[in-house]
Amino acid sequence: MSGEPKTITLREYGELPYAWVGERGVRLLERASNATGAHVFDFHLYHARARQYVGVVKAGRHTVQILPKVHEQERDSLGYLLSLLHYTRKLKIHPGDVTGFDKLGGSFLEVWIRHFATELNHLLRTQYKQRYVEIEERSSFLRGKLLTERELDGKATIHARYACRYEIFTPDHLLNRTLKFCNYLLLAQTRSPVSRRVLRENDILLADVTYKPVRPEEVDRITLDRLNRSYEPILDLCRLLLANATLDLRAGRISQLAIVFDMDKLFEEFVAEFLRRNVEEITVGEGSKLQSVAAKKHIGRLFGKLSMEADLVLTDVAGRKILLDTKNKILSHYGTPVREDLYQMYAYGTAGQDAYAGIILLYPTTGSYFSGSSLRHGTLRLHTRGFDPTIIYDPASKRVDRDAVVEGLNEALSFAG
C-alpha cells in the first residue's frame, strides 16, 4: 500500500498506521515533522498520532494532511481551516476556494497550489513588472557612471577599458526570480493537470527571467512599493513555501515540505481578531457593551518575578476588565475545566493589581449540551463557557458567518452577578 503516491487525510489527534506509508515513509515523516520545529506527531510503536497541528506534511511520495476535527465533511473542515487562516491574515486563500476541493483529490496542498498558480497568472497577465536594476561591470565604452576608484586602485583585473555602474530596465530582478523559482518548485509537486497547465503558462510568461534558486533570507530583501504592492499576497505564499520546505537545490526540487498551523493558537487568534473587528456589537458580563480588546497583555508578575500575560483583556464601556482565555481542548465531564486551567486562571487573577469583574475560560464545544458553569474563590469569579466552532464557517456561503459568531460570542461572554 505504501508504493503509490497518495494523499492521506487525518483529523486532529488522529492516528496514522505506519503500514500506510512504509518504513521509509515513517522516517521521512519524522524528519519533516522535526524540521518544522513543532511537535506535529507523537511516534509510537505501530502508528503516529497527530497532535493539535493542522496543515500538510509531504514526506517522500506521500502527502499527509491534517484537518480540524470540527466538521464531519472533509470539504467543510478545509473551509473552516481556510476561514480561520484568511480571517487572521495568515494565509490569503479565500474559503470559497474549496469549491474545487473534490476535483483536486481532496488535497489541501493542491488547493494551495491552484490558488498560487491562478493568482500569479493573473498578476503576470495584468501587472507584469519590470524595474531598474543596477549593474556594475567593465565595458569597452563609457556607460552610466565611471567608477574612478576602481580605475585607480589597481586591484581589478582589466577585462575591458571602463569600470561602469549603470541601470537597466528589465524583468530579471529578485521579485520575478523568486516567483519563477517557486512556480517551478510547485510545478514538480502538483498532480492536477489544470494546475500544471497554469504553472507552465506562468513559466512561459517569465521566460525573460533567469531561473535561479532563491533562499528564504533573500525574499526578505525584496522591497515593495506602491507600484508593486499587489504582489504582496503572492510573495507571502513564496515566503511560506521557502521557509517550510527542505530543498534539493542541485535537483531543483522539494525533498520535503511541512506547512502546519497550531490550532490552539489559531482558534485563540480568531476569537481575538473577531472581537476587535466587531467590538461595537459584542456584549460582556451582564450585557455591558464591549469597548476595547487587548491581546497578550501583561497583567502582572507571579511571586514578583514571573511575567504573566493573558490571552485577552476585555474592557467594557464602564471600565470593568474581564480576563478571557481560550482553550482549544475538550472539557472534562460535566463541563469542569481541568485542574491546570484552574491553577492558571487563579494565578492570572492574583498576579496583578487590577481587579477583574470576571475571568472567562472559553472552550470550543459542539452542540448545546453545555451551557456553562461558574466558580467563586474570594473576590475571584471564574466562568467556564462553551462556544460552538461549527458556526464560524457556513458551508452554503463558503465564508465566515459573522452574525452567528456575534450571537455565539455574546452568549458565551455573558454572566450574571
Query: Domain end: 170, 197, 220, which one?
Result: 170
Identify the CA nearest to 181 among candidates 262, 120, 140, 119. Answer: 120
Q: Give the number of C-alpha atoms closer than 13 A to the C-alpha of residue 334, restricted to the C-beta side.
A: 2
* Residue 181 belongs to a domain: no
Q: For the chain of 417 residues, list the mean pLDDT of each consecutive stretch of 10.
A: 70 92 87 81 92 87 88 89 90 75 77 91 84 65 62 55 70 89 91 92 92 89 84 90 76 76 91 93 89 77 65 88 82 61 69 73 71 71 86 91 94 79
For residue 70, is it within any domain?
no
User: Do the Cβ atoms of 384 and 361 come closer than 8 Å?
Assistant: yes
Instruction: Cell numbers for 333, please give them.
Output: 465531564
Residue 337 DSSP class: P
Strand spans (E) along 303-404: 306-316, 321-326, 358-364, 373-377, 380-387, 393-394, 399-400
Q: Is residue 346 part of a domain?
A: yes
Other C-beta atoms lying within 10 Å of the C-beta of residue 73:
10
Burial (Cβ within 10 Å: 0-12, 13-18, ≥19) of residue 162: middle
CATH number at residue 326: 3.40.1350
The domain boundary, picked from 140, 170, 200, lies at 170
Give pLDDT, residue 2: 46
Let me know: does 354 contact 321? Beta carbons within 8 Å: yes
Q: Residue 347: inside a domain, yes or no?
A: yes
The answer to whether residue 232 sits within a structural domain is no
Rounded to whole angstroms, how far apart are CA atoms 101 and 366? 25
Angle, helices 74-87/108-126, rounded to nearest 10 degrees: 50
In a domain, 336, yes or no: yes
- Its domain, for residue 145, covers 132-170
pLDDT at 273: 94
Residue whose grid cell is 501583561 = 298
Spatial distance between the Cα atoms of 246 and 224, rounded to a whole number of angstroms: 26
Count of the separate structural domains present in the chain:
2
Examine residue 177 and state whether it is found in any structural domain, yes or no: no
Contact status, residue 198 vs residue 118, Cβ threshold 8 Å: yes
Q: Is residue 145 part of a domain?
A: yes
The whole-number pLDDT of residue 276 equals: 93
Cβ contact 145:168 at 8 Å:
no
Cα–Cα distance for residue pair 49/39, rounded to 1 Å: 11
Residues 260 and 29 sit within 8 Å (Cβ to Cβ)? no
Q: Phi-psi category of 236—alpha, beta or left, where left has phi over 0 and alpha has psi -120 to 50?
A: alpha
Which residue from 111, 96, 97 is spatially nearest to 63, judged by alpha carbons?
111
| Cβ atoms of residues 115 and 202 within 8 Å | no
Residues 283 and 163 in one domain: no
| pLDDT at position 275 | 94
> Is 0.85 topped by the overall pTM?
no
Contacts of 67 (CB under 8 A, 6+ apart): 9, 10, 11, 12, 54, 74, 77, 78, 81, 108
Domain termination site, one of 120, 141, 170:
170
In the DSSP assignment, the letter for residue 334 is G
